[in-house]
Amino acid sequence: MSRPPLAAIILAAGKGTRMRSDLHKVLHPIAGRPMLGHLLGAVDELSPAARVVVVGSGRDQVERLAAPLGVGLAVQEPQLGTAHAVQQAGGFLSAFAGDVIILYGDVPLVRAETMARMLDRLNEADAPAVVVLGFRPADTLAYGRIAETGGLIDTMVEHKDATAEERALGLCNSGLMAVRSADLWRLLDKVGNANAAGEYYLPDIVMLAAAEGRRSAVIEAEPWEVAGINSRAELAEVEAAWQQRRRAAAMAEGATLIAPDTVWFAHDTRIGRDVTVEPNVFFGPGAVVADGVTIRAFSHIEGATIAAGAEIGPYARLRPGAEIGAKAKVGNFVEVKQARLGAGAKANHLSYIGDADIGAGANIGAGTITCNYDGFFKYRTVVGANAFIGSNSALVAPVSVGEGAIVGAGTVLTRGVAAGALAIVRAPQQDKDGWATRFRERMAAKKAAAKT
C-alpha cells in the first residue's frame, strides 16, 4: 500500500522519578541500546520525513543522542498532559502534510511492522479519524480502556475517569496513535482538561472526532511490544523478556545455546548457523559470529568479528576491533582488542593482544602480551604468518616479527625479527653448585638458634 509522508512524534517529557537516576529515563539501555535508540531505529525503517522528540528535564542528555541523527527536539514546560506534549512538536511540523505517528520514549520495543499496520489502517477506504494501538494484558492495571465494535472504537476512557463497567473491559490503550496531520492539530486545539487529573489527554481526540461523526479504529499488538518502563524493576523485566525472545530466535536460526537463560545478547548481535554457545556468555554491542564457531563458557564478546570455525574461550574477552580469523583459537583468560588474528592463529592461554596483526597460523605462547601503550600513544605489533612467540614474552610496540620466526620464551622484544630468525632476549643462566644445600643448612641453624 502506498502511504502519505510520515512524521513521528516521540513523547519523552516525563520526569522519570521512579527510576531514581541522573540519566534520562529514555536513555536507559535494553540489550545495550538506549530505549530511545530502539524506538528511533524502528521508526527509521519506515523512512519518515520528520522525527521530533518532546522532552522536559534532561534535554541536554537526549540532545546528545538525537542531534547527530537529525531528530528535532521540542521542550514541554510545564508538563500539562500528553495532548499538550504533542502540541509542542507543532513548531517542527507546521508545514508538514501527511500521517503522524505518536509514540512514547519509555515504550521502546514497538516494531516497525506494527507501526506500518497502524498507518495502513489509517489509509484504508473507511478513513478512520485516528488509529489507536490496543493490547490485552494479563493485568489491566491502570491503563485506559477501549470499547470497540468490529475494530471501530465506541468509547475510550482513561482509567482514572472510567466507571466500574469500563474498567472491566480487557482491551487497553497503549497510548500509541496514528492520525493525519490535517486532523491532529485541529483536534488537539479542542482538548480540555476537565478530568480527574486536570490534564490535557491525547486520547480525548478520539471522542472529539466521534462528536464530529467520525469513527476511529483500533488494532492490537502483543503486550510485550507496548510494555512501558517507569522503574528499574520494569526495565529489568523488559530486558529479561527481550532476551528470552532473542535466545529463542537464535536457536530457531540454527545456533545451539547449551544453557539459554545464561546467554545475553545485544540488540545487534549477529550469530550464524551451527554456532555453539556454552553457559554464561555475554555479547555486547557490535558482535558478529559466523557459522560453526564455538564460544566456550564465561566469555565476553563486544565489537568483535569472529570468522567461521573459530573457537573462543573459556573465559576469553574480545573487545571492540577484535577480528578472529577462520579456525583461529582464543583461549582461556586471553584478551584481544583492536587486533586481528589470521586464519588458524592461536592464543590459547593468559595473553593480552592489543593493537596487533597476528598472521595466519601463528602461535602466541602463554603469558605473552603486546606492550601497545606508552602512556600517550598506542602502537602496533605485527606478527607474521606461522611465527611462534614463546611463553611469557613481551612484544614492545611498534615491533614486527617476520614470517616463520621464533621468539624464545621470556623475551622482551624491542626491535624487529627477520623472517625465519630466532630472537632470544634473556639474561644468561647461572648455576652455583651446592648453593641451595648450604643455604638451607644455614637457615635451619639460624631458626634453631632463635628458639633457644
The C-alpha R_g of the chain, in whole angstroms, comes to: 31
- β-strand 381-383 against 352-358: which pairing, if any? parallel
The H-or-E segment that residue 249 falls in is: helix 232-252
DSSP string, 365-405: -TT-EEE-B-SS-B--EEE-TT-EE-TT-EEESSEEE-TT-
Cell representation of residue 231: 522503574
Give the CA angle between residues 398, 402, 406 to the nearest 5°. 105
Separation of alpha carbons 250 and 264, rounded Å: 11
φ, ψ of residue 300 in degrees (nearest 5):
-125, 120
213: left (phi over 0), alpha (psi -120 to 50) or beta: left
- The answer to whether 66 touches 50, Cβ cutoff 8 Å, is no
198: left (phi over 0), alpha (psi -120 to 50) or beta: left
Separation of alpha carbons 260 and 44, rounded Å: 31
Which among 349, 304, 345 is positioned nearest to 331, based on CA atoms? 349
- The answer to whether 396 touches 412, Cβ cutoff 8 Å, is yes
Residues 6+ apart with CB under 8 A from 51: 7, 8, 10, 40, 43, 69, 70, 71, 72
Q: At what angle do helices 112-122 and 35-44 cross, to 10 degrees?
A: 50
Amino acid at residue number 165: E
How far is Cα of residue 374 from the mean position of the Cα atoms in its chain?
Answer: 32
Helix ranges, 22-168 (H): 35-44, 59-66, 82-87, 90-93, 112-122, 164-167
Cell representation of residue 239: 530486558
Residues 6+ apart with CB under 8 A from 451: none
Residue tagged active-site, from 24, 38, 300, 349: 349
Separation of alpha carbons 294 and 277, rounded Å: 6
Q: Is 24 in the active site? A: no
- For the annotated catalytic residues, the residue numbers are 349
